[in-house]
Amino acid sequence: MYQKLLLSGIRIKIIGDSITAGSGSSDDSRSGPVILTINGKEYKEQMGKLCWASLFSSYVRELYPQSQVVNRSCSRLNSTQLRDNLSQFTDESDQVILLMIGANDRKQEDGKEVLGRNLKFIAEYLKNEGKTVILMSYPPSTEQNESRPELFFYMSDVDRILEQTAAAEEIRFISHYNRLLNYYKENSLTVEEMMMSGKGVRDGLHPPDRVHRLIFEQVVREVETL
């Protein structure tokens, strides 16, 4: 169904935080035009080509030139900031929303409950606006990264909350967390090997080019089978 719409022309909006914006990719460069201003902070367009969102945008532009992918993701964004600024993130012309949010909620002691409430509100808001919503979880991060003292819960918890929200709201869900864990297991790879490889400073949270490409491939499979 959506492959036909891609051919005829649709607008896909990507919304999320630093992983969604492209952090971790070797050519990460938020140096384009200002896309959003939240609490006085300006967020600029990703100019790098190797993060999953840019790969997906290029893919759609090449195969479906009538369609458009727009990335409106902001580093350090949490679900409360997104909820409070939803009108800045979406436009009337958006038809499909790819939403990856929740990693930064782990910095709040009550973050699980806050994330669950906010996701419900955001999903219902977007559905009422006539958008097709696809929730997505994050790639697994390393054990060392997840053991940071400022975090109150794990990526596996974020994955579970997103999945529960998607089921309750009857929207699609891509568990990058579980799909990548399965891929690593099938190929005798570890999270540490995948997340700590590649160019640039590796922190175990923001994925390198190799993982960004795997996320991109999963998004393509999901969107083209909608």
Mean pLDDT of the chain: 94
Q: Which residues pair with 135 in a beta bridge?
A: 99, 173
Q: Give the closest residue to 137 by CA, choosing from 120, 112, 156.
A: 156
Instruction: State the CB neighbour count (10 A cutoff) for residue 80.
Output: 16
pLDDT for 39: 85
C-alpha separations of 28 from 89, 119, 213 in Å: 21, 27, 14
Query: What pLDDT, on a 0 to 100 scale, did the predictor assign at position 201?
Result: 77
Range of the domain at 107: 2-224
Confidence of residue 222 (pLDDT cuts 50, 70, 90): confident
CATH, residue 145:
3.40.50.1110
Q: With bands split at pLDDT 50, 70 and 90, how would you rate the model's confidence at 154? A: very high
- What mean pLDDT do residues 22-28 have? 95
Say how many domains are in the chain. 1
pLDDT > 90 fraction of the chain, expressed in percent and rounded = 88
> Where in the chain does DSSP place strands (E)?
11-16, 30-38, 41-46, 68-73, 96-100, 132-136, 172-174
Q: Alpha-carbon distance 204 to 193, whole Å? A: 10
Please determine, for residue 1, whether its predicted confidence score (pLDDT) is greater than 60.
Answer: no
Q: What is the pLDDT of residue 198?
A: 85
Arithmetic mean of pLDDT, 23-46: 92
Q: What is the pTM of this model?
A: 0.94
Least confident of 136-140, 182-186, 194-198: 194-198
Higher local confidence (pLDDT), 4 or 144: 144
Residue 129 burial class via C-beta count within 10 angstroms: exposed 0-12, middle 13-18, buried 19 and up: middle
